[in-house]
A = this chain, B = another copy of it.
Amino acid sequence: MSDQVAETDANPETDEAEAYVLGKRDVAAILYTVEIEDREKLIELMEPLHAADIADLLEQINTFDRARLIRLYGHEFDGEILSELDEGIRDEVVSLLAPKVLQEAMRELDSDDVVDIFEDLEDAQQATMLGALDDVDRAVVEQALSYPEYSAGRLMQREVVMAPQHWTVGAAIDHLRATPEAELPDQFYHIIVVDPRLHPVGNVTLGKLMRSKRDTLLTALMEDSFQIIPATRDEGDVAYAFNQYHLISAPVVDEDGRLIGVITIDDAMAVLDEEHEEDILRLAGVGESSLSDRVIETTKQRLPWLAVNLLTAIAASMVISQFEVALAQIVALAVLMPIVASMGGNAGTQSLTVAVRALATKDLTGSNVWRVIRRECLVGLINGTIFAVIMGIVGIIWFGSPALGGVIAVAMVINMVIAGLAGTGIPILLERVGVDPALASGAFVTTVTDVVGFFAFLGLAAAVLL
């Protein structure tokens, strides 16, 4: 640790450009020690690195180097590295670890981390890991798995610091000092005050506890901001609550409202990060994905969305084929028609992204849905008109036909208003019927803007120009 501090201290400005990035040279130095099988030097180079950085390193090197490094590193392998590792290569790494190393690694972790690692493993690796756990940990993992995936019950840690309502500051401090280290969470920032039925009634921060007189009642020190989380609540909603209400930790309760665990903000932050990643990738038509996935896995992940896109593209082509007569007579139509579709597609994607994001942050609700839809259509109308004028002029200059300019202008306005309507309406409808709007909106919206764009442009052209 002291190495880290010294380094940050010595050159605080050089690391501006790529703060927190493991240098190419560091990676090369580590791989060199693996190459020459210099175990001591490897351990020396890895020692100052945080588990999260070691995990990043393992993700960035190739499979062959990864296996050699892990074998050479041996029993130095820390449980936290597994915890930080991308799910994509966790299976691989678990299967590389000697059973004893794995057992050792698991023993150091908090219950929530063990569960987190366990639930993402494939069956074979799950069996390996269950074998490596001691009885207590195995019971914890099995209990956690009884809660739904992505629920607060899976996210929470079981180690909780609680105190009855009638306790004073002195009683709480004495209790804390008397509790053995192993029964306390790794880190904790609050004491949860509970009533006789174990229902949480409030939080007391350690700072307040430490500064108060010994005879003060805990209930007199409780925080303003307090949120109780049911064990079945979706982890995305949990992350939202932490961010919305600036929580540091929150008690988790079972269906009877009894305290069964606690979620801390660092876990909530990790969930927020994952949810964002999911949204951003889903919007682009990529399922789960990571840089350490192999070619075949990546190909499979990308394929479904491309298949959907092929269907919508064929649908658009069928619209075009209805106007073969017009296209055969006026080639300019073929030249200009992608512009109308493309502008609609872009405007639709803009509206849709804002809507998906607003739904995720719970800013788009029953109270403002119609105002937002109206706004998006109006924005489409205004921008559509501006670009219609520009394209109308381009059409006249390029092809010398005012009628053609007029047709493309009108089609553009129509398509961009529809883009605003579809871009907002489709995600809202999907959300209402319980489909993730990030996942499915894109396909629907571009289908609408393609079909409407080609139909409006070619249809008007056929009516006006032929």
Contact = CB atoms under 8 A, between A and B. Distances in A.
Interface of A: 1, 4-5, 8-9, 12-13, 16, 18-24, 27-28, 50, 52-53, 56, 59-62, 173, 176-177, 181, 184, 187-189, 199-202, 205-207, 209-211, 222, 224-228, 230, 232-234, 237, 240-248, 253, 255, 257, 265-266, 268-270, 272-273, 276-277, 279-281, 283-286, 289-291, 294-295, 298-299, 302-303, 305-307, 309-310, 312-314, 316-317, 320-321, 324, 327-328, 331, 333-339, 341-343, 346-347, 349-350, 352-354, 357-358, 361-368, 371-372, 375-376, 378-379, 382-383, 386-387, 390-391, 394, 450, 454
A233 to B, nearest CB: 6
A61 B391 CA distance: 37
Residue of A52, A347, A366, A371 with highest tally of chain B CB at under 10 A: A366
A5 B366 CA distance: 25
A60 B8 contact: no
Contact of A295 (B206, B349, B382): B382
7 contacts: A5-B228, A8-B230, A22-B365, A265-B269, A281-B357, A283-B284, A289-B354
Contact of A320 (B177, B232, B248, B334): B334
Contact of A353 (B18, B280, B337, B339): B280
Nearest to A7: B228
Contact of A56 (B189, B305, B363): B363
A10 to B, nearest CB: 9
Given A281-B353, A302-B379, 20 more contacts: A1-B202, A4-B226, A9-B257, A12-B230, A12-B255, A50-B244, A60-B367, A61-B368, A176-B210, A189-B205, A280-B353, A283-B283, A291-B363, A305-B346, A309-B343, A316-B339, A316-B342, A327-B331, A333-B334, A342-B450
A52 B245 contact: yes
Contacts of A240: 19-20
Given A327-B334, A366-B24, A205 B187 contact: yes
Tallying the copies of this chain within the complex gives: 2
Given A284-B353, A295-B378, A334-B320, A306 B20 contact: no
Given A4-B227, A272-B273, A367-B61, A12 B335 contact: no
Nearest to A423: B284
B386 A303 contact: yes
B188 A207 contact: yes
Label chain A's interface by main secondary structure.
helix
A55 to B, nearest CB: 9
Contacts of A285: 346, 349-350
Q: List the 5 shortest-distance A-B pairs measured between CB atoms, nearest first.
A: A284-B353, A24-B366, A334-B334, A206-B206, A276-B276
Contacts of A9: 199, 228, 257
A290 B353 CA distance: 11
A306 B16 CA distance: 34
Contacts of A245: 50, 52
Contacts of A367: 22, 24, 27-28, 60-61
A95 to B, nearest CB: 22
Contacts of A270: 243
A210 B350 contact: no
B306 A347 contact: yes
Contact of A303 (B21, B237, B328, B383): B383
B226 A248 contact: no
A281 B12 contact: no
Nearest to A376: B298
Contacts of A53: 244
A20 to B, nearest CB: 6
A50 B285 CA distance: 36
B207 A209 contact: no
Given A280-B279, A331-B328, A350 B269 contact: no
Contacts of A276: 273, 276, 280
Contacts of A316: 338-339, 342
A195 to B, nearest CB: 10
